[in-house]
Structure 1
């Protein structure tokens, strides 16, 4: 039997991550739900199939040059590259976590913001559990476009199946007063979109890890709870039985992305 390597220490989530801004928080809680905790504590489930990782899919959408790739690279690779290169089509990263003692993976899909690549990128919106809509806090016009990006991503998925986040990047470019003003507008937009708002800086790393930990924790817990709601309690949590989305479809998407994207 093949066993996956241990999860990096900086990807272990032991406590439920808090929201950056309580005004934009859709999940007002400080701990896992009692049902999820009970499932994860069950010794018989934790000791079976832990080499097969559960996985959720997150798609990152938004205008050209708002910092989608920089956001992903800061979290996944802990780097910040000033030399901007537009994403062609789609790209992706896979991050492994440990939550409540169980392994978990997050596929993070980086989609192109250029109009000419929309027809390619939109195909990869399907099967998402998380939609991350990104705007540039130093360019308020990009905030106005986020609603359309979200609608396009939601249009490729079943209703009420996705967590939605609105992320403002480049907060390091704003003064404290400008940041507060932009955040007020963003919180209002997030409320209209039924999304949770975060403000980050890929350059300094501010709030980046906290944001992705929040994404991973909410998606993981949702996967556990939905599996229990469907009556799959006999399926062992951690054995791949609550793998979100169609595995064959995700494998084909990964293969296609490797062939077509830079």
Structure 2
């Protein structure tokens, strides 16, 4: 299939001690069975997607993935963390399936703000079961000893937030692709199960 990042294996967590579903090593068998069923009606276009409307003030990107020959669109809404942008950002939290909190490993103030940012996101998204990630950025700007200290602080916060922890560097590219592949894989799995539950519910009530 063209025009998509083809993922042919389950993406593993960055650290086993700070992860979403840490013991899971492969896609759930039910997901594999559903995706293998060519007669599944919701796959008539082989695409998982939600409608979106771009709005000034928030950056938006999308990336297409392919799991089990099924296309999956990961939509990324990048909202600013500053107080003055709260009213704008709140409009984009509703309906989110994943929340990624990015913190600067060179500035612990951002780490201290992470709990507030998560509360803001969940306040407007209380109906959804979101996967939560805490991502430490700018690893390339930290010495090894400094990084290890900052990482321990970030891991402690991730545990409090119930988040999976990752470290990345936009400059070197370290873990960037692996992280987004992991996010896409877990989001895809939940989307498949959510869609199947909706179909099963409609059939039950027919």
TM-score (norm 2): 0.88
Which one of 2, 7, 12 corresponds to residue 3 of structure 2?
7
CA distance in structure 2 between the aligned counterparts of 1:127 and 1:108, rounded to whole angstroms = 13
Aligned to 1:60: none
CA distance in structure 2 between the aligned counterparts of 1:221 and 1:233, rounded to whole angstroms = 18
5+ unaligned residues in a row in structure 2: which ranges?
none
Shift of 1:226: 2.0
Shift of 1:22: 1.1
Shift of 1:101: 1.4
Shift of 1:159: 4.3
CA distance in structure 1 between the aligned counterparts of 2:44 and 2:199, rounded to whole angstroms = 19
Aligned to 1:32: 27
Aligned to 1:19: 13
SS at match of 1:113: coil
Maintained 8 Å contact 2:81/2:117: no
Q: 1:48 to 1:224 in 2, by over 3 A?
A: closer
Q: 1:233 to 1:105 in 2, by over 3 A?
A: farther
Which one of 45, 53, 57 corresponds to residue 40 of structure 2?
45
CA-based RMSD of the aligned residues comes to 2.2
TM-score (norm 1): 0.70
CA distance in structure 2 between the aligned counterparts of 1:17 and 1:135, rounded to whole angstroms = 22
Shift of 1:114: 2.6
Matched, 1:119 2:87: yes
Matched, 1:173 2:152: no
Q: 1:145 to 1:56 in 2, by over 3 A?
A: farther
Maintained 8 Å contact 1:166/1:197: yes
- The number of aligned residues is 198
5+ unaligned residues in a row in structure 1: which ranges?
58-87, 236-262
Which one of 147, 161, 170 corresponds to residue 129 of structure 2?
161
Maintained 8 Å contact 2:97/2:128: no
Partner deviation per Cα, 1:100-136 (whole Å, 9 max, x = no partner) = 2110001100112332221112111111000001100
CA distance in structure 2 between the aligned counterparts of 1:189 and 1:120, rounded to whole angstroms = 26
Maintained 8 Å contact 2:101/2:117: yes
Shift of 1:33: 0.3
Q: 1:111 to 1:32 in 2, by over 3 A?
A: same
CA distance in structure 1 between the aligned counterparts of 2:108 and 2:25, rounded to whole angstroms = 32
Shift of 1:26: 2.0
CA distance in structure 1 between the aligned counterparts of 2:200 and 2:113, rounded to whole angstroms = 40
Matched, 1:210 2:178: yes
